[in-house]
Structure 1
Amino acid sequence: MKGFLLALACACVLSAAAAQDLLPGPAPGAPLAATDFLALARRVVDAASRPAAPWNGPRKGPPAQSGKHIAVVAEDLRNGGILGVVDGVLEAAKVIGWRVRIFDSAGAADLRLKMLANALASHPDGLILAGGDARALLPALRPFAENNIPIVGWHVAARAGPVPGTPVAMNVSTDPLEVARVTALAAIVQSGGHAGVVIFTDSNFRIAQGKADEMAAVVRACSGCTLLEVRDVAISRSRELVPGTTRALLARYGPRWNCALAINDIYFDYAAPVLTQAGMPNAAMIMLSAGDGSESAFLRIRTGTFQTGTVAEPLNLHGWQLVDEMNRLFAGVGVTGYVTPVHLVTADNVAADGGDRLLYDPDNGYRDIYRQIWQRP
């Protein structure tokens, strides 16, 4: 047991990625003492809360393959994360010299295939998927592959990198499981190891279900915490469903429910007003999101309105990375596989790295670096 704890402590000092080491293995023996678990959780959370690290992504690559026409199929532009990524794509496309046409599925199942068909009919040179599930969309993606149209995506699979069994050459993302672990560990730290947790997820998406499962595992590993429920609510119907769901959870669990975790900030857009209407003090509920760092989430964190943190994606940076990965495919070069580090936004650091503009935009010079790679002024 001593050796196990020492290994965990060393790992947590090195990197926030060590959050995974706080989860017991298949046969871990005796569980960690609550004080040991909490101390290790603090180390991971502190590491993830530090200012953005210097750029550790690619610095070399092919010059701009100019004059391309790109189709972007967005899962739902009402989602702040997807909108932020699309904005980054548009910003980067202007620099590299590409035309972009956007197709919005509006979160509707019947529109996803239609928007992909419309995108194909526009005869693009490349396809960018912003949200969605690559495997579920596979029948509509095959015609792109058959026409040698390269595809990259954002949050279209449970892991970053190429998506096996699909023509998606690169799924741009932070490590979703690491994001989930840091989120759950932050809840444990902020609750002093006594979190009564409800997790909001959307089982329609593998990345969402993977995050929820990982958060649940971390909560279960905390001896003083209770996983009250995992609630499956479609993101596309969050405006409609979350208020009633929140009232039902309050009625069922009362003060036992002191922590809400979610796979996306959008759930809290509709849960927070219900808590306010119910007369709940801000300090009575901890809200933490495992993505994506929306404007409304930053506002709640800054004002102390229930939400205490979000593991924010560098949405604009991810838009630039999508363009760079696509440019590499046009040039016949493999994708970078780059995965951005996890970053936890809290009240203590919300003003840094773009927080004054209500987003997480790492101050690491990525725009200038991509311009240099593309040989663009």
Structure 2
Amino acid sequence: MKNNKPALAGLTALGLSLALALTACGGNSASTAASTGSVDLSAAQEVLAEAQATVTEFDFPTDTVDVPKDKFVVGIPCAYAAEGCKRGVDAVAEAAKELGWRYQMIDPAGDPDKMRAAVRTAIQLKADGIFLGATPPAVVKDDVAAARAAGIKVVNMYEPAPEDFADANSLQDHPLAGRWNAAYLAVATQGGAKVITINDPEFVSVVEWNQGFVDGLKELCSTCEITKEINFQIANLQTQVPTEFQAVLQANPTANAVWAAYDPVALAITPVIKRSPQDGKISIVSHNGDAAALDAIKAGDQPFKGSVGYSIEWQSYAAVDQMIRLFAGNLPEELKLVNVPEKLLTQESITTVPWDGDLDWKSEYKKLWKTEN
């Protein structure tokens, strides 16, 4: 399967500028310890430069495709109230309208039973295609199998899945994103990171982010350590996480960094940090690149310092391209998995809110889709 990787520009120069720019990150000076000889952070700095570099190229499909008419597609988000899930299916709806397809959204509101019911409803409605947005594959695997057996094409977006789960997958490189988080904290703490991790293992994507972070920290910073691990489930985000994190923070007064599963976690714990003695001494890194998260990072006075973002809309258009080719009967093997670009978004590297991917990906896809006037 194809693993699309963006080409990145200016890594060496950016690496030097980042080493200087990070000196202003919260209370954690990142004047490179590599230059003083205390800790060798050269590898971390190189990874950090890669993480924040501008995306300049992407391996788009090269063959145009005739868009089949009169198709009916259903979008099923994890929960429409969640920003990322909403943006994902809204982009599918936008593309479907441009293609002249009928579209319907079925919102399970984060409830696993309703996720399964949404897929069954799409079968009953005789949909031609289903777009799954951040739906845990283990929750809906039997219903998705029934949909595919009924001749419905299924494209899975955002959440890693077994190879035989869907007809196509539009994702991003989760372990790499976690490694980028590790590089940031290694440099920001001059190789002295004492990290609290807050993990949501119900999502495979988060598990992969976490593993990439853990492995990356070991590889890039031998003097960094994870001092405490917290696990939770998204249903308990607002009730459990702030309270438990406050207790953990009090028990670990030397902690100077937090790895958070995704942006809403980072935003939920920010008030806890702001009213603690560690305010100004802790840096948070996360994932998603949500608008509220990027606003907090841009402000510069918050503990939230970086989020690995990707263009959710780009990912949706890549999924629509896959669906068109599935309908047309010519989705090549190398396009059954598409990884869209991602970027570590910090105060220095944020260009748009939300991040637009640095490229005009929408025009590139629309040029490939041939519709009758």
CA distance in 2, matches of 1:262, 1:66: 44
Asked if the contact 2:64/2:370 (under 8 Å) is kept, the reply is: no
Aligned to 1:29: none
Aligned to 2:19: none
Residue 72 of structure 1: how far off its partner (Å): 1.1
Aligned to 1:195: 193
Does structure 1 residue 328 correspond to structure 2 residue 325? Answer: yes
Residue 287 of structure 1: how far off its partner (Å): 0.8
Residue 118 of structure 1: how far off its partner (Å): 2.1
Asked if the contact 1:288/1:309 (under 8 Å) is kept, the reply is: yes
Where structure 1 has 5 or more consecutive residues not aligned to the other structure, the ranges are 1-11, 17-31
CA distance in 2, matches of 1:372, 1:311: 29
CA distance in 1, matches of 2:229, 2:38: 23
Secondary structure at the counterpart of residue 312 of structure 1: strand
Asked if the contact 1:298/1:359 (under 8 Å) is kept, the reply is: yes
Residue 181 of structure 1: how far off its partner (Å): 0.9
Aligned to 1:45: 48
1:16-95 equivalences under 5 Å are: 35-36=39-40, 38-95=41-98
Q: Percent identity?
A: 22
Figure out how many residues of one structure are paired with residues of the other and give that number. 336
Structure 1 residues 79 and 328, CA, compared in 2 at 3 Å: closer, same or farther?
Answer: same
1:131-142 equivalences under 5 Å are: 131-142=134-145
Asked if the contact 1:235/1:267 (under 8 Å) is kept, the reply is: no
Aligned to 2:298: 302
Q: Determine which structure has the larger strand proportion and give its number.
A: 2
1:141-156 equivalences under 5 Å are: 141-156=144-159
Where structure 2 has 5 or more consecutive residues not aligned to the other structure, the ranges are 1-10, 16-33
Secondary structure at the counterpart of residue 284 of structure 1: coil
Structure 1 residues 341 and 142, CA, compared in 2 at 3 Å: closer, same or farther?
Answer: same
Aligned to 1:101: 104
CA distance in 2, matches of 1:322, 1:294: 20
CA distance in 1, matches of 2:212, 2:347: 24
Asked if the contact 2:60/2:364 (under 8 Å) is kept, the reply is: no
What CA deviation, in whole Å up to 9, does each residue of 1:214-253 have, x standing for no partner?
2112223322111112221112321222211221111221
Does structure 1 residue 169 correspond to structure 2 residue 146? Answer: no
Secondary structure at the counterpart of residue 157 of structure 1: coil
The two structures have a TM-score, normalised by structure 1, of 0.83
Secondary structure at the counterpart of residue 345 of structure 1: strand
Residue 110 of structure 1: how far off its partner (Å): 2.6
Instruction: Read off the aligned partner of 1:302 and give its amino acid letter.
Output: K
Aligned to 1:373: 368
Structure 1 residues 240 and 119, CA, compared in 2 at 3 Å: closer, same or farther?
Answer: farther
Asked if the contact 1:178/1:342 (under 8 Å) is kept, the reply is: no
Structure 1 residues 99 and 85, CA, compared in 2 at 3 Å: closer, same or farther?
Answer: same
Asked if the contact 1:88/1:318 (under 8 Å) is kept, the reply is: no
Asked if the contact 1:65/1:327 (under 8 Å) is kept, the reply is: yes
CA distance in 1, matches of 2:305, 2:329: 44
Structure 1 residues 135 and 333, CA, compared in 2 at 3 Å: closer, same or farther?
Answer: farther
Residue 280 of structure 1: how far off its partner (Å): 4.3
Structure 1 residues 39 and 374, CA, compared in 2 at 3 Å: closer, same or farther?
Answer: same
Instruction: Read off the aligned partner of 1:295 and give its amino acid letter.
Output: A
CA distance in 1, matches of 2:213, 2:140: 26
Asked if the contact 2:160/2:171 (under 8 Å) is kept, the reply is: no
CA distance in 1, matches of 2:257, 2:87: 27
Indicate the larger mover: 183-192 or 78-87.
78-87
Indicate the larger mover: 76-85 or 339-348.
76-85
Indicate the larger mover: 85-94 or 301-310.
85-94
Asked if the contact 1:55/1:365 (under 8 Å) is kept, the reply is: no
What is the RMSD computed on CA atoms of the aligned residues? 2.3
Asked if the contact 1:72/1:102 (under 8 Å) is kept, the reply is: yes
CA distance in 1, matches of 2:235, 2:123: 24
Asked if the contact 1:264/1:292 (under 8 Å) is kept, the reply is: yes
Residue 271 of structure 1: how far off its partner (Å): 0.7
What CA deviation, in whole Å up to 9, does each residue of 1:246-302 have, x standing for no partner?
211112212x22111123111012111222233643x3111111x211011111101
Asked if the contact 1:198/1:228 (under 8 Å) is kept, the reply is: yes
Indicate the larger mover: 126-135 or 52-61.
52-61
